[in-house]
Structure 1
Amino acid sequence: MKSILIAAAIAMVASILLTPYLIRVFSRQGFGQEIREEGPEGHKSKRGTPTMGGVAIIIAMWVGYGVSHIANATSATPGEAPTASGLLVLMLATGLGLVGFLDDFIKIRKQRNLGLNKTAKLVGQLVVSIGFAVLALRFPDERQLTPASDNLSFVRDISIVSFGALGFIVFCYLAVSAWSNAVNFTDGLDGLAGGSSAMVLGTYVVISFWQFSHDCGRVAEAACFDVRDPLDLAVVAAAAMGACIGFLWWNAAPAKIFMGDTGSLALGGLVAGLAMATRTELLMIIIGGLFVVEMVSVVLQIAVFRTTRRRLFRMAPFHHHFELAGWAETTVIIRFWLLAGVCAMFGLGLFYADWLSAGGGI
């Protein structure tokens, strides 16, 4: 538990302190956000706000994770060393953050709202996700558990649904691409993606620690969990949560910096990685329900417009629909945060209910 608290606290402080430094540096360099012309009129004033703030989230996440392990290594009761699961999830997030950084950088240099084209972005996601998928099926521990499983999962592996190694690589790419784009779509209002991500990551701190407390290698109970490194995954989730909260100090409306694709793609990759490493891939659809709604709204808008030449929403992603309906930006943000919190709590409730129904606590 101490390592989780240290990771969250250090990452939060690092993010709070690092972000204003990035604001000054990016402002001097002219790294300002470009705003799409067809966007809500109120967003035009945000043009030029420093972007690529996701750099602070990524760095703070690594700092929190690293300091937590250093503190444990020097304590009287040392905890686990960095694990394959934790490092792979962090590297997945960092790799996607680099893809997002290139996207942001091109937008800034060419002074347009389009960075990498769709093909280039998908190729970047493909390379990073394949690397994660291949490595996640390696590094077995003494119980022959690898960081990820080639079975589909809800709260634990569904043994009758197996992808095989090649199928898992395809599934991993689809999951990483979907979640990174979903968080990217959500990142359209000040603090919306950061606050929602913090709630999802906080939920995974609880889930991962619960899996550690009821790990099949430590306890003999019907409802135990076979996850390779649950405690270290809780540390990763805590560090990322702390980094998001620290960034929100500067990103809350009116934002002094945006996370950009650097942050949104990294957080989406982190969400996908945690879902696969904790064997909760389908449960993540509920926990991250807000991200799902935002992505589905874009898909529906495109599908309806192409078939009927009419718009289903005033504008997609979904949060812009309410802005154009007259809601204040802060009202949309707070209400969507509430939706994100409800989804996270409902997902956590399903996780606990499954544990009880499987014989936990009996």
Structure 2
Amino acid sequence: MDAQSLSWVLVVAFAIVVLLGPIVIPLLHRFKFGQAIRAEGPARHQKKSGTPTMGGLMIIISVVFTAMRFSNSPTTDILLFAMVGFGVIGLLDDGIKVIRHRNLGLTALQKIILQVIVVVLFYLFLYIRGWHFELFIPGFNTALQLGPFYLVFLTFFMIGTANAVNITDGLDGLATGTTAIAFGAFAAMAWWESQWNVSVFAMATVGALLGFLVYNRHPAKVFMGDTGSLALGGGLAAAAVLTRSEIWLALVGGIFVIEALSVIIQVISFQSFGRRIFRMSPLHHHFELVGWSEWRVVTIFWLFGLAMSLAALYLYVR
């Protein structure tokens, strides 16, 4: 598949979301599917209360249609299963929040159980295809043969990635832009390795995210919700697995790693020493509270994510 074909994938996915916006967003308004803002968050976020959520549905619909249109294969099915599977969990979480008019949906345990089920099914699909369960180590031209232990790794890897992206989704356009950049990097990696199906899936996601950014940029007209962020995290992890680039994701998705670590560090510090390292976690809220505008935080994080992805691509093709 050449670059022109991939460009069409991006354009179609972009157009679908842009066309869905004027239909879906008013429906979300009509059914009062508005976002509840947590009271302990930055005060200026309270004005966002009521902004429609579950906009991630537009992203998922676009990716599913575009990927199946341009690359209908078992590989595409597995990738879409990961995205849709995690997306359904996010949809349940968002639905409970909306129905109960609160910022808490599924419990942490319920989320983990459902996510583990999706990961196990994803693993079984790979097993049926005769997948070699190994972990490629960049720079050493070797791979660790994990065998059945790969399921343990895969569980932590996919759930960790999905929830890291979910944590990053806290400002207008933040998760949208950073995940678009990360998927773009994996589209390039897959194309380099002639894995056309993965490249189409990743490029379709980039296009859908750029279309969603039309409505999600500051001030956002719609939020992706857990429906979108968990779906994107699951899809991103799946793309890394199928390109055998799991370790590369730590660099490509460095912004997600940092955001997740900021939460972990904050919790450990407060519970152990009664002190907070950051004014608020995740990290993007810390920068807000030190005086940065929301748009400045988002722009800097986008640029950081872009730099990390470019660095990963440079090292990958060497």
Equivalent residues of 1:34, 1:107 under 8 A apart: yes
Partner of 2:268: 303
Partner of 1:174: 156
Q: Secondary structure at the match of 1:169?
A: helix
**1:286 maps onto 2:276 in alignment:** no
Choose from 62, 65, 71 the match for 1:60: 62
- Determine which structure has more spread, i.e. the larger CA radius of gyration: 1
**1:247 maps onto 2:239 in alignment:** no
Equivalent residues of 1:156, 1:280 under 8 A apart: no
CA distance in 2, matches of 1:112, 1:242: 32
Partner of 2:14: 12
TM-score by length of 2: 0.96
Equivalent residues of 2:260, 2:282 under 8 A apart: yes
Equivalent residues of 1:89, 1:273 under 8 A apart: yes
CA distance in 2, matches of 1:9, 1:62: 14
CA distance in 2, matches of 1:159, 1:303: 35
Q: Secondary structure at the match of 1:137?
A: helix
Partner of 1:42: 44
Q: Per-residue displacement from partner, 1:89-138 (whole Å, max 9, x unpaired)?
A: 11101000000000000001111111000000001110101100111122
CA distance in 1, matches of 2:245, 2:176: 22
CA distance in 2, matches of 1:158, 1:173: 25
Partner of 2:316: 351
Q: CA RMSD in A?
A: 1.4
Choose from 254, 259, 266 the match for 2:224: 259
**1:210 maps onto 2:215 in alignment:** no
CA distance 1:157–1:176, shift in 2 (3 Å): farther
The structure 1 segments of at least 4 consecutive aligned residues displaced by more than 3 Å after TM superposition are: 154-160
Q: Per-residue displacement from partner, 1:276-303 (whole Å, max 9, x unpaired)?
A: 1000110110011001000010000001
Shift of 1:152: 1.0
Choose from 172, 176, 181 the match for 1:190: 172
Partner of 1:163: 146
- Residue identity matched to 1:239: A
Equivalent residues of 1:151, 1:157 under 8 A apart: no
Partner of 2:83: 93
Equivalences for residues 97-246 of structure 1 within 5 A: 97-140=87-130, 146=131, 149-155=132-138, 159-164=142-147, 166-212=148-194, 230-246=195-211
Shift of 1:3: 3.7
Shift of 1:158: 6.4
- Residue identity matched to 1:151: E
Equivalent residues of 1:9, 1:64 under 8 A apart: no
- Residue identity matched to 1:28: R
Partner of 1:269: 234
Q: Percentage identity across aligned positions?
A: 39
- Residue identity matched to 1:293: I
Bigger helix share:
2
Shift of 1:154: 3.8
CA distance in 2, matches of 1:136, 1:6: 29
CA distance in 1, matches of 2:141, 2:109: 33
Q: Secondary structure at the match of 1:312?
A: coil
Equivalent residues of 1:58, 1:266 under 8 A apart: yes
- Residue identity matched to 1:281: E
Equivalent residues of 1:289, 1:340 under 8 A apart: yes
Shift of 1:47: 0.2
- Residue identity matched to 2:176: G
- Residue identity matched to 1:301: Q
CA distance in 2, matches of 1:15, 1:60: 6
